[in-house]
C-alpha cells in the first residue's frame, strides 16, 4: 500500500511538472510569429492525414486491429484470430481484423464468456484507430520543426531563464546500452497480455516528445547529459506526450500544437537541471 502511494505521488508530480511546461509553453507559442506558422502547418498536415485516412481506410483499420490485438492479448495471442497457422506473415497480420469479425459473427453462441474479451479488443481497435491518426499528425508536423519552429522557440524560452548556464560536461562516461537487450526486453513486454496494452500506449505517448528531445537540447546540453536527463524525466515525458495527444484532438487549440511541442520541451529540459521558476517576459 505504501509503494502504491509513493508511485501515485510520483505520477502526480510528473503530471504537475508536465502541466507547468504546457502552461509556459502555451504562452510562448503565441510569441515571435510562432502561432501563425504553427496554425498553417497544422492545418496542412491534418488535411493530409484526413485525406490519407479516407483513401486508405482499410489499411488503417487493419493496422489498428493488429495493434489492438497485440496490446490486448500479447504477441502470442494473435493465434486467437487464426494468425498462428499462417506462419506469421505480414499479409496474415493485415487479415486479423477480418478474421476477428468473421469469428465474432459465426461463433457468437459458442464463444461464451470469451466474447467479452473479443468485444473489448474491438473497442480497443477503435481507440487505436483514432490514436494512430493523432500520432501520425504529431510525428509529421516535426518534419520542418528544426528550422521553422525550434530556433525561435529556444530563443523565447531562454528569456525566461536569464541565470541559466549550460551544465558542465560529466567526466564519467556511462556504459553504452545494448540495443539487442533493449529490443528483447521490449518484445518480452509485448508478449504479456494486458500489460502490452499499457506498454504500447507508453510508446505512442512518448514518441513525439522523444523525437524532439535531442534536437531541442543540441544548443544547451551534451548528448550524454541529454540521455541522462531524459531517463530522469521519463515519467514527465510520458505525461507531456499524453497532454499533446489530448490537445491535438481539440479543434482550434490544436493549431498551436507544432509550436507548443517545441516550447514545452525546451521548458522541460531547462527546468530539469535547475527547476527554476520562469520569469515573466514582455
pLDDT tens track for 152-191: 998 899 888 887 776 666 544 555 666 787 788 888 888 8
Domain span at residue 262 reads 9-160+178-274
Domain assignment present for residue 1? The answer is: no
Whether pLDDT at 281 is above 70: no
pLDDT at residue 50 greater than cutoff 70:
yes
143-182 exposure pattern, b = at least 16 Cβ within 10 A, e = fewer: eebeebbbebbbebbeebbeebeeeeeeeeeeeeeeeeee
Residue 239 lies in a domain: yes
Whether the pTM exceeds 0.85: the reply is: no
Place of cell 493523432: 134
3-state secondary structure of 37: helix
Q: Specify the range with the lowest mean pLDDT, choosing from 91-95, 135-139, 272-276.
A: 91-95
Out of 5-9, 163-167, 207-211, 247-251, which region has the weakest mean confidence (pLDDT)? 163-167
Tell me what pLDDT residue 72 has: 75
Average pLDDT over residues 56-72: 83
Q: In which band, very low, low, confident or very high, does the pLDDT at 239 lie, cut at 50, 70 and 90?
A: very high
CA 238/CA 38 separation, integer angstroms: 23
- Rounded to an integer, what distance in angstroms lies between the CA atom of residue 131 and that of residue 133? 5
- Number of domains present in the structure of the chain: 1
Q: Is residue 18 assigned to a domain?
A: yes
For residue 163, report the phi and psi dihedrals to the nearest 5 degrees. Answer: -95, 0
Let me know if residue 281 belongs to a domain: no
Assigned domain for 165 exists: no
Residue 109 has a pLDDT of 44
What values do phi and psi take at 222, rounded to 5? -80, 170
Per mean pLDDT, which range of 57-66, 131-140, 203-212 is the poorest?
57-66
Q: Which residue has the higher pLDDT, 179 or 196?
A: 196
Q: Is the pLDDT of residue 272 over 60?
A: yes
Give the tens place of pLDDT for each residue, 240-262.
999 999 999 999 999 999 999 99
pLDDT of the residue at 262: 94
Whole-angstrom distance, CA of residue 263 vs CA of residue 236 = 15
The pLDDT value recorded for residue 173 is 53
Q: Is residue 65 part of a domain?
A: yes
Answer yes or no: is pLDDT of 96 > 50: no
pLDDT of 108 reads 44
68, part of any domain: yes
Confidence of residue 93 (pLDDT cuts 50, 70, 90): very low
**277 CB-contact burial (10 Å; exposed 0-12 / middle 13-18 / buried 19+):** exposed
CB-count exposure of residue 141 (10 Å: 0-12, 13-18, 19+): buried
Q: Is residue 4 part of a domain?
A: no
Radius of gyration of the chain from its Cα atoms, rounded to whole angstroms: 21
Query: At residue 11, does pLDDT exceed 60?
Result: yes
Q: How far apart are CA 275 and CA 128, in angstroms?
A: 35
Q: How confident is the model at residue 235 (pLDDT cuts 50, 70, 90)?
A: very high
- Would you place residue 282 in the very low, low, confident or very high pLDDT band (cuts 50, 70, 90)? very low
pLDDT at 73: 75
Amino acid at each position: 500500500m505504501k509503494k502504491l502511494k509513493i508511485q501515485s505521488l510520483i505520477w502526480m508530480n510528473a503530471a504537475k511538472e508536465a502541466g507547468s511546461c504546457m502552461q509556459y509553453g502555451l504562452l510562448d507559442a503565441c510569441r515571435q510569429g510562432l502561432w501563425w506558422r504553427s496554425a498553417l502547418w497544422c492545418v496542412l498536415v491534418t488535411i493530409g492525414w484526413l485525406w490519407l485516412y479516407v483513401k486508405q481506410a482499410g489499411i488503417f483499420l487493419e493496422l489498428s486491429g493488429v495493434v489492438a490485438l497485440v496490446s490486448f492479448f500479447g504477441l502470442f495471442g494473435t493465434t486467437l484470430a487464426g494468425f498462428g497457422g499462417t506462419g506469421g506473415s505480414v499479409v496474415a497480420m493485415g487479415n486479423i481484423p477480418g478474421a476477428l469479425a468473421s469469428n465474432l459473427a459465426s461463433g457468437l453462441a459458442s464463444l461464451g464468456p470469451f466474447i467479452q474479451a473479443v468485444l473489448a479488443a474491438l473497442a480497443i481497435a477503435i481507440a487505436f484507430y483514432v490514436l494512430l491518426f493523432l500520432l501520425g499528425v504529431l510525428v509529421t508536423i516535426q518534419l520542418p520543426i528544426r528550422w521553422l519552429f525550434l530556433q525561435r522557440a529556444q530563443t523565447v524560452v531562454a528569456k525566461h531563464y536569464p541565470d541559466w548556464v549550460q551544465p558542465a560536461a560529466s567526466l564519467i562516461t556511462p556504459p553504452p546500452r545494448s540495443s539487442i537487450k533493449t529490443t528483447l526486453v521490449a518484445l518480452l513486454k509485448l508478449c504479456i497480455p494486458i500489460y502490452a496494452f499499457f506498454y504500447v500506449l507508453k510508446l505512442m505517448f512518448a514518441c513525439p516528445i522523444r523525437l524532439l528531445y535531442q534536437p531541442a537540447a543540441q544548443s544547451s546540453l551534451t548528448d550524454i547529459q541529454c540521455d541522462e536527463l531524459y531517463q530522469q524525466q521519463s515519467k514527465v515525458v510520458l505525461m507531456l506526450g499524453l497532454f499533446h495527444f489530448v490537445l491535438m484532438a481539440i479543434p482550434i487549440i490544436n493549431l498551436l500544437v507544432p509550436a507548443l511541442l517545441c516550447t514545452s520541451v525546451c521548458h522541460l529540459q531547462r527546468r530539469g537541471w535547475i527547476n527554476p521558476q520562469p520569469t515573466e517576459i514582455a
